[in-house]
C-alpha cells in the first residue's frame, strides 16, 4: 500500500546508524509503538493476596516465554545469542525490585499492573540519568521485560512477528532483543528502528544473524505505510522510502558487487600478507565469542590477536569456573591448529559491568580491567591458570589490559608466578612458557612504552581507547563524536612512541583497535612501523589487499609527513592524495 500523500516519483532518504552491513529491499512490515495503557485502581484489603498471586503468575509466564526463546537459540547452535537473555531473566529475579512491588501493593493498595510498571519506570528514570553508557543501554532490556509482564497481566499478546510478510523489511519503533532473536532469517530481509544504538543487544543479534540493520532513524513510522517498498542500506545507515526504478537497479548492482567482493576476499584467505615491495605482514582476528573462529579462518587470519574474555563472564553472570574457561580457551586454541591465540585477561568495568558492580561517575577512568583483576586476585588467578592450561594445547599468549603503572606490572607477574606454581604443585599440564604482553591504551602507557617493552614479551596498541583518552572524547557521545579523530597528529605521535620503544627492545607491536581495520589508517600505521594488525575477521582481506598495493618506502614517507601536520584533515589529505586511487580501485577479477 502506497502513501497517497506523497507523489509516487518522490523517494525519501531517512538517515540512521548502520549496525549490520549489507543491503536489501522489499515491502515494509511496520510494528508501531503501542504504548501500554496501564490502569491504576485501588484495591480492597481482601484483594491484596489476589494481586500478589497475579504477580507471581505473570513473572512465571514471562520467565517461561524468555526461556523458550533461549532454548530455541541453543538448539539452533546459537548459545552466544541465547546468553543475551540471561540479563532478562536476572531482571525477573531482582528481589529488591519485586519486594518493592509487593510492598506497594500491600501498603498503597493499588493493582499489580500499576505497582510493577510505576516502580520499573522509576528505576529506568534513575538509570537514564546515569552517566554509565552500559547501564543506559540495558534500559531496553528492562522495558522489554516490563512490557512482557504487563501484557500477561492485561491479557494482551506480543506484537506479531511470526506472521510477517515473506521477504519483508521490518520497521519498528524499537526492537527488543527477545523479538529480534525470533526473527526468521528466511523471511526477514533486514530491519530498521527509530531508536537503538550500535552496541545494543539487538544490534549484536543482527550481526550474528547476518541481517542488514539500521537503527536510530528517528520518527519514520508515521511516514511509512505497511507493505510499502523500501530499501535498507546497512553500510550507509539508510532507509530509502519509495525508491525509484533507477535506485532499485543501483542497489541490485551494489548487492551483486558485495557478493563478488566477498567471494574475492574469501579467495584471498591463503594469500600471505605482504606490502607491494614484499615486506611480510601479519593479519590477526579480534573475536568475542568462540563461534567466530570459523569466520576468522575463512577470511585467512594468521591467528587470533585479541580474544575478549569478558564476554564469557558477562554471559555467565560473572561466575565462570576455571574448568569452564579452560574448555572455551582450549577449544579455540585447538581449532586454530598451531596459529597464535592471544587471550586478553578480563577487561570488565567501563561499559561492561557484571551484576553487583556499582556504576561510577567516570567509569572509563575507574575500576576496570587490570585494576579490577588485581582487586579480585581469586578471579585473576583462576583466569591465568585457565590460560596457562589452554597453552598446553597450542600457541597461546596472554595480554594484560589497561596497564598504567609499573607497580601494576609487578603485581601482575606476582599473580602469574602464583598461577604457575600452583599448577606445578597440582601436576596439571600447562604452558611453562607463555608470552605475556601489555595492551597500551592510555597516553601514560604510551609514554612509558620503553619500560613496558623491557618487562613484557610484546606490546599491543588498543587504539579505540588510546584515541579516546588522548583526545578526551567519549566516542559514544553524539555531541563530541566528531572530535574522535584517529588521524589526529597527537595520536600518531603516541603510536610512533610505542612502536619505536618496542623496536628498540626487539619486541613486536600489534594494533588491535579499529584504526587498523581502516584502509587509510592502516597505510599510515604501516609507515609508522606497524607490521602486525588485528581486526574483525571480515576486514582482513580488504586491509590485506590495500596494503598489498603500498610499498614500505611510500608508507614511511607519508607517515613522516603526517607527523609534521597540526590537524587531522591535513593528515587525511596527505593519505588521500598519495593513495586515494589505490583505495578506490575496484577489486581485481
CA distance 20 to 32: 22
The DSSP H or E segment spanning 16 is none
The DSSP H or E segment spanning 161 is none
Task: Report the interhelical angle of 139-154 vs 112-128 (nearest 10°).
Answer: 170
Residue 129 has pLDDT above 60, yes or no: yes
- The set of cell numbers assigned to 573 is 589529505
**pLDDT tens profile 309-341:** 987 887 666 678 999 999 999 999 999 999 999
Closest CA to 195 of 218, 225, 161, 167: 218
**pLDDT tens profile 343-353:** 999 988 766 66
**pLDDT tens profile 451-463:** 999 999 999 999 9
**pLDDT tens profile 64-98:** 878 876 776 665 566 666 676 777 888 888 888 89
- The set of cell numbers assigned to 331 is 577449544
Structure confidence at residue 568 (pLDDT): 94
Closest CA to 312 of 395, 398, 383, 391: 383
Structure confidence at residue 178 (pLDDT): 54
Main-chain dihedrals φ then ψ at residue 238, nearest 5 degrees: -120, 145
Structure confidence at residue 4 (pLDDT): 37
Q: List the strands of the sheet with 229-233, edge to edge.
A: 12-15, 238-241, 229-233, 23-31, 168-172, 188-193, 213-215, 17-20
**pLDDT tens profile 354-408:** 655 666 767 778 888 999 999 999 999 999 999 999 999 999 999 999 999 999 9
Q: What is the mean pLDDT of residues 196-213?
A: 69
Residue 119 has pLDDT above 80, yes or no: yes
The DSSP H or E segment spanning 154 is helix 139-154
Distance of CA 459 to the CA centre of its chain: 23
Distances (CA, A) of 142 to 76, 81, 117, 183, 262: 25, 18, 11, 20, 38
Kindly give, in sequence order, each residue whose CB lies less than 8 Å from that of residue 287, ignoring residues fewer than 6 positions away.
Answer: 293, 296, 304, 306, 307, 308, 332, 537
Per-residue pLDDT band at 6 (split at 50, 70, 90): very low
Q: Does the pTM of the predicted model rise above 0.75?
A: no
CA distance 82 to 231: 30
**pLDDT tens profile 269-310:** 788 999 999 999 999 999 887 878 988 898 899 999 999 898
Structure confidence at residue 400 (pLDDT): 97
Determine the 3-state secondary structure of 165 from DSSP.
Answer: coil
Main-chain dihedrals φ then ψ at residue 306, nearest 5 degrees: -160, 110
CB-CB contact of 395 with 341 (8 Å): yes
State the sign of the Cα–Cα–Cα–Cα dihedral 358, 361, 364, 366: negative
Q: What is the mean pLDDT of residues 219-244?
A: 89
Of the candidate ranges 8-12, 115-119, 222-226, 275-279, the one whose mean pLDDT is the lowest = 8-12
Residue 8 has pLDDT above 80, yes or no: no
The DSSP H or E segment spanning 241 is strand 238-241
Kindly give, in sequence order, each residue whose CB lies less than 8 Å from that of residue 480, ignoring residues fewer than 6 positions away.
Answer: 473, 474
3-class SS shares of the chain: helix, strand, coil, % to 5: 50, 15, 35
In the chain, what are the domains? 12-34+159-245 (3.50.30.10), 45-154 (1.10.274.10), 261-274+442-589 (3.20.20.60), 282-399+410-434 (3.20.20.60)
Neighbours of 128 (CB within 10 A): 10
Q: Cell 553500510 appears where?
A: 235
CA distance 235 to 213: 9
Greatest Cα pair distance, the chain, in angstroms, is: 85
The β-bridge relationship of strands 341-344 and 396-400 is parallel
Q: Cell 520497521 appears where?
A: 171
Average pLDDT over the chain, rounded to an integer: 85
CB-CB contact of 237 with 197 (8 Å): no
Per-residue pLDDT band at 128 (split at 50, 70, 90): confident
Q: Which string of DSSP letters, residue by residue, matches 192-240?
A: EESS--TTSHHHHHHHHHT--EEE---S-GGG--TT-EEEEETTTTEEE
State the sign of the Cα–Cα–Cα–Cα dihedral 76, 180, 328, 325: negative
Structure confidence at residue 31 (pLDDT): 76
Neighbours of 247 (CB within 10 A): 15
Q: Cell 500500500 appears where?
A: 1
Per-residue pLDDT band at 7 (split at 50, 70, 90): very low
Q: What is the mean pLDDT of residues 209-228?
A: 84
CA distance 534 to 512: 5
**pLDDT tens profile 145-186:** 887 888 788 876 555 444 455 678 889 888 765 566 556 666
- The set of cell numbers assigned to 439 is 595492551
For residues 497-523, one letter each, b for 16 or more C-beta atoms within 10 angstroms of the residue's C-beta and e for the rest, the string is bbbbbbeebebbbbbbbbbbbbbbbbb
CB-CB contact of 257 with 508 (8 Å): no
Provide the annotated active-site residues: 201, 512
Amino acid at each position: 500500500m502506497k502513501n497517497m500523500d506523497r507523489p509516487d516519483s518522490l523517494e525519501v532518504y531517512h538517515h540512521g546508524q548502520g549496525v549490520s552491513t549489507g543491503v536489501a529491499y522489499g515491502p515494509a512490515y511496520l510494528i508501531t509503538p503501542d504504548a501500554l495503557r496501564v490502569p491504576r485502581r485501588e484495591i480492597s484489603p481482601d484483594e491484596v493476596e489476589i494481586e500478589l498471586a497475579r504477580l507471581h503468575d505473570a513473572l512465571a509466564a514471562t520467565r517461561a516465554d524468555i526461556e523458550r526463546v533461549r532454548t530455541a537459540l541453543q538448539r539452533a547452535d546459537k548459545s552466544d545469542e541465547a546468553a543475551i537473555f540471561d540479563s532478562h531473566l536476572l531482571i525477573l529475579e531482582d528481589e529488591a525490585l519485586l519486594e518493592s512491588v509487593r510492598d506497594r501493593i500491600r501498603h498503597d493498595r493499588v493493582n499489580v499492573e500499576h505497582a510493577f510498571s510505576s516502580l520499573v519506570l522509576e528505576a529506568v528514570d534513575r538509570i537514564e540519568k546515569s552517566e554509565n553508557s552500559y547501564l543506559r543501554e540495558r534500559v531496553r532490556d528492562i522495558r522489554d521485560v516490563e512490557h512482557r509482564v504487563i501484557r500477561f497481566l492485561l491479557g494482551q499478546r506480543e506484537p506479531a512477528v511470526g506472521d510477517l510478510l515473506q521477504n519483508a523489511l521490518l520497521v519498528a519503533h524499537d526492537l527488543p532483543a527477545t523479538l529480534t532473536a525470533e526473527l526468521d532469517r528466511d523471511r526477514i530481509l533486514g530491519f530498521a528502528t527509530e531508536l537503538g544504538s550500535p552496541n545494543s543487544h539487538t544490534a549484536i543479534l543482527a550481526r550474528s544473524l547476518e541481517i542488514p540493520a539500521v537503527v536510530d532513524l528517528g520518527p519514520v513510522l508515521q511516514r511509512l505505510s505497511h507493505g510499502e517498498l523500501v530499501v535498507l542500506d546497512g553500510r550507509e545507515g539508510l532507509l530509502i522510502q519509495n525508491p525509484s526504478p533507477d535506485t532499485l537497479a543501483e542497489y541490485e548492482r551494489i548487492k551483486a558487487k558485495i557478493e563478488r567482493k566477498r567471494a574475492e576476499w574469501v579467495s584471498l584467505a591463503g594469500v600471505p600478507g605482504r606490502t607491494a615491495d614484499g615486506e611480510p605482514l601479519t593479519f590477526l582476528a579480534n573475536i568475542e565469542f568462540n563461534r567466530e573462529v570459523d569466520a576468522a579462518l575463512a577470511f585467512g587470519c594468521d591467528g587470533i590477536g585479541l580474544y575478549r574474555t569478558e564476554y564469557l563472564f558477562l554471559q555467565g553472570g560473572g561466575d565462570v569456573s576455571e574448568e569452564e574457561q579452560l574448555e572455551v580457551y582450549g577449544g579455540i586454541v585447538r581449532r586454530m591448529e598451531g596459529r597464535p591465540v592471544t587471550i586478553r585477561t578480563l577487561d570488565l568495568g567501563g561499559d561492561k559491568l557484571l551484576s553487583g558492580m556499582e556504576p561510577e561517575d567516570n567509569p572509563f577512568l575507574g575500576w576496570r580491567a587490570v585494576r579490577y583483576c588485581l582487586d579480585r586476585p581469586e578471579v585473576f588467578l583462576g583466569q591465568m591458570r585457565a590460560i596457562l592450561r589452554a597453552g598446553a594445547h597450542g600457541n597461546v599468549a596472554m595480554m594484560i589490559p589497561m596497564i598504567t603503572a609499573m607497580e601494576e606490572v609487578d603485581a601482575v607477574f606476582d599473580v602469574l608466578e602464583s598461577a604457575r606454581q600452583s599448577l606445578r604443585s597440582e601436576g596439571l599440564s600447562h604452558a611453562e612458557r607463555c608470552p605475556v604482553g601489555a595492551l597500551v591504551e592510555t597516553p601514560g602507557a604510551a609514554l612509558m612504552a620503553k619500560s613496558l617493552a623491557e618487562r613484557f614479551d610484546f606490546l599491543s596498541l588498543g587504539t579505540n581507547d588510546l584515541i579516546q583518552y588522548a583526545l578526551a572524547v567519549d566516542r559514544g557521545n553524539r555531541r563530541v563524536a566528531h572530535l574522535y579523530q584517529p588521524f589526529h597528529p597527537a595520536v600518531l605521535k603516541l603510536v610512533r612512541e610505542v612502536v619505536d620503544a618496542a623496536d628498540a627492545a626487539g619486541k613486536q607491536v600489534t594494533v588491535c583497535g579499529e584504526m587498523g581495520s581502516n584502509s587509510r589508517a592502516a597505510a599510515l600505521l604501516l609507515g609508522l612501523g606497524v607490521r602486525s594488525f588485528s581486526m574483525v575477521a571480515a576486514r582482513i582481506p580488504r586491509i590485506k589487499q590495500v596494503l598489498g598495493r603500498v610499498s614500505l618506502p611510500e608508507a614511511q614517507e607519508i607517515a613522516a609527513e603526517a607527523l609534521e601536520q597540526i590537524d587531522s584533515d591535513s593528515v587525511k589529505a596527505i593519505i588521500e592524495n598519495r593513495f586515494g586511487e589505490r583505495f578506490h580501485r575496484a577489486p581485481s577479477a
